[in-house]
Amino acid sequence: MQLEQHNIQAHNEQALAAHQRAFAYISGEIPDAEGIVARLADFQVAIPSWALGTGGTRFGRFPGGGEPRNLEEKIADIGLLHRLNRSSGAISLHIPWDIPSNPAHIKALAAQQELRFDAMNSNTFQDQPGQALSYKFGSLQNTDKAIRRQAVEHNLEVIRHGVELGSESLTVWLSDGSCFPGQLNFRQAFENTLRGLQEIYAALPAHWKMFVEYKAFEPNFYSTTVGDWGQSYLYASKLGPQAYTLVDLGHHLPNANIEQIVALLLMEGKLGGFHFNDSKYGDDDLTVGSIKPYQLFLIFCELVEGMDARGIDHATGLGWMIDASHNVKDPLEDLLQSVEAIMLAYAQALLVDRKALTAAQAGHDVAAAQEILQKAFRTDVRALAAEARLRAGGALNPLGVYRAANVRAELIRERGAKTFATGL
Ligand code: LRH
Ligand code: MN
Ligand code: MN
């Protein structure tokens, strides 16, 4: 599928006059529109290789057709997103869903599409065909040494794949835990897990990071061995300076104050990466910003404040990844919406009058503090994100171009109506 530059340009020409009016207006309303546009242009969000097909639930899956049949086609799809928004310049691979059997070829394809390889994800939460031992009762936590060994070896293999592709980080998410009281000795499970993570950590190249992703529940529903940010932080601290906590927005107990978690992890230098999505009930993996955009904005406020306080580069200091998939939308449209939501929340966070906020906090002026945040949140920053895309050669309205060019219909023609992308 080649969505050509002229499709984008033709669309931009039509939308240009209205955009210029909106951009001129916002530029007059805020102190540093140019600075924000520049930061937005630098900010790239990795697309997960498992989000390009229609997600499902355990009750069913309703594929929309034209799904990528292999890693090559997934790279093509992400390339297309990146051409539209110029903000999706990275891919995060899940092994073994997307094994790069010919790494040189895969690397070259990604380079053609101007994509780099973000974090590699290991998978010890499913049994794969032909796998010797089962993860039914956990992987690194398992009471059986041979199963723990198998899980460690898998992670080492994922690092090797990552090295071949030029990735620089490994995300470990463990579904380990228990479903019933008494099933598990918590301390032993923690210690087994720590020992396994230590072996994996020891195999990391010196410039790599390891992200320890936590999740409160599912598939285990009584205890999870990396269940919250405290546990992840404990592992990451014990492992060493290359290990960090990864925050997936859907992995908390209801109403958790994620922005405060982000602030404290950043303060401790242990926030490594993000999985963006949104949720109403649990790990719903819904489109970013579709349910709680104010929470997303507040998280970005803490990210911006904390990264600036520690001198961390916004674009490269942390791993920014989407982890969303769902049942009812075209996955590519969904990803365009997710990236846009991230850009808007980031832009709004950059708008916050920090000096005024600090003064309001010092003077216990609670109402003023709220006004300052909400003034930024209620500012329509869409023209800033559009301007950043325009300057980088992307589309003023990525979703509009995608639809006008009938991309999905063409993908269905090319790949068929009954294709099945690997992933959840
Ligand atoms: C677990 C998770 C983790 C996996 C992905 C497929 O819920 O968030 O990041 O790798 O989903
Ligand atoms: Mn995740
Ligand atoms: Mn998840």
pLDDT tens readout for residues 285-321: 999 999 999 999 999 999 999 999 999 999 999 999 9
Q: Which of 158, 169, 275 to mutate to test the pocket of ligand 1 (most atoms within 8 A of CB)?
A: 275
Of the ligands numbered here, which is closest to the C-alpha atom of 48? Answer: 1
Query: Which tokens go with 223?
Result: 């205890």
Helix and strand tally (H, E) in the chain?
15, 12
Name residue, tokens 């530029």. 27
The DSSP-derived string for 342-400 is: HHHHHHHHHHS-HHHHHHHHHTT-HHHHHHHHHHHHTS--HHHHHHHHHHTT--SSHHH
Closest CA to 93 of 66, 62, 116: 116
- CA 143 – CA 254 distance, rounded (Å): 31
pLDDT at 43: 98
Best of 95, 172, 213 for a ligand 1 pocket test (most atoms within 8 Å of beta carbon): 213
Q: Which phi and psi (to 5°) does residue 143 adopt?
A: -70, -15
Kindly identify the ligand whose nearest atom is closest to the C-alpha of 92: 1
CA of 275 to the centre of ligand 2 (A): 5
* Amino acid 1: pLDDT: 57
Three state DSSP letters for 217-280 = CCCCCCEECCCCHHHHHHHHHHHCCCEEEEEECCCCCCCCCHHHHHHHHHHCCCEEEEEECECC
Q: Can you name the residues that pair with 245 across neighbouring β-strands? A: 212, 271
| pLDDT averaged per 10 residues in sequence order, the chain, 424 residues | 81 97 98 98 97 85 90 97 98 96 97 98 97 98 98 98 98 98 98 99 98 98 98 98 98 97 98 97 96 98 98 98 92 98 98 98 98 98 98 98 96 91 74
- Cα(326) to ligand 3 centroid in Å equals 12
- Contact between 265 and 231 (Cβ < 8 Å): no
Q: What is the pLDDT of residue 2?
A: 62
Q: Which of 154, 158, 176, 248 to mutate to test the pocket of ligand 1 (most atoms within 8 A of CB)?
A: 248
Neighbours of 180 (CB within 10 A): 10
Residue 87 belongs to what H/E stretch? none
Which listed ligand is nearest to 124 at the C-alpha? 1
Centroid of ligand 2 to alpha carbon of 323 (angstroms): 5
Q: Which among 43, 152, 165, 45 is positioned nearest to 93, based on CA atoms?
A: 165
If you write DSSP's letter for every residue of 170-183 in order, what string do you get? EEEE---EESSTTS
* Probe residue for ligand 1, chosen from 94, 124, 135, 173 as the CB with the greatest number of ligand atoms within 8 Å: 173
In this predicted structure, what is the pLDDT of residue 173? 98
> Does a cis peptide bond (omega within 30 degrees of 0) precede residue 96?
yes
Distance between CA atoms of 226 and 217, rounded to whole angstroms? Answer: 10
Q: For residue 63, what pLDDT is reported?
A: 84
DSSP helix/strand/coil, 51: helix
Taking the CA atoms of 97, 109, 342 and 401 in sequence, report the sign of the dihedral they define.
Answer: negative
Residue 225's closest CA among 188, 276, 198? Answer: 188
Question: For residue 93, how far is its CA from the centre of ligand 1 (angstroms)?
Answer: 12
Ligand that lies nearest to the alpha carbon of residue 226, given by its number in the listed order: 1
Peptide bond into 219 cis (omega under 30): yes
Residue 324's pLDDT is: 94
* CA–centroid distance, residue 418 to ligand 3 (Å): 26
Q: Which ligand is nearest to the CA of 173?
A: 1
Give the Å distance between the CA of 282 and the centre of ligand 1: 13
How far is it, in rounded angstroms, from Cα 120 to Cα 172?
9
Q: What element of type H or E holds 160?
A: helix 145-165
User: What residues have a C-beta under 5 A from ligand 3, the ion?
Assistant: 283
Q: Which residues line ligand 1 (CB under 6 A)?
A: 50, 121, 173, 213, 215, 248, 275, 283, 323, 424
**Residue nearest (by alpha carbon) to ligand 1 atom 1:** 173
Smallest CA separation from ligand 1 atom 3, residue: 173
Dig out the tokens for 120 from the structure.
């590699």
pTM value is 0.97
What distance in angstroms lies between residue 250's CA and the mean position of ligand 3's atoms?
6
The 10s digit of each residue's pLDDT in 357-378 is: 999 999 999 999 999 999 999 9
Nearest CA to ligand 1 atom 6: 424
